[in-house]
Amino acid sequence: MIEYIANKITLDEYLSIRSAVNWKQLSKTQASAALKNSLYLMGAYEDGRLIGMGRVVGDGAVICYVQDLIVLPDYQGRGVGSMVLKALTEYVKSITEPGTEMMFGLMCAKGREQFYEKHGFIARPTSALGPGMIQYLNGVVNS
């Protein structure tokens, strides 16, 4: 049975699940800060092993983002990602000030657009919204 637990993911679990899906390697310092600075974490566990996860990052007032929605390949297509995303969405709804609107965004991997569209996300660009953009910055050591 899969158990969904909020705010429990450890540093080693986070690094391990990222590695299992061949995502970019993080330093322990980066990974620790990422977990600590997340607004919300949701983990999917089977027999005590992390098999799926997602994070909410952002300011918690105007904008939040889905980050690191990961499901181990053997568990994909079984609804784990949908359950994690539902929990993340419910969290963001719970912190949205009454009478206001929260922007809830994400950057998805190529080929995963349909998954997010079936959960109410829209692909950009649209007639009203420009494309999403990204820049990777490398740390520079000053002498």
92-139: pLDDT as tens digits = 999 999 999 999 999 998 899 999 999 999 999 999 999 988 888 887
Q: Which residues sit opposite 55 in a β-bridge?
A: 41, 67
What pLDDT is attached to residue 139? 78
The domain defined by 2-117 folds into Aminopeptidase (3.40.630)
Contact 17, 37 (CB under 8 A): no
- Please state, rounded to an integer, the average pLDDT across all residues of the chain: 95
Task: Note the pTM of the prediction, 2 decimals.
Answer: 0.92
pLDDT tens-digit series, residues 37-47 = 999 999 999 99
Where along the chain do its domains lie? 2-117
Distance CA 66, CA 12 (A): 21
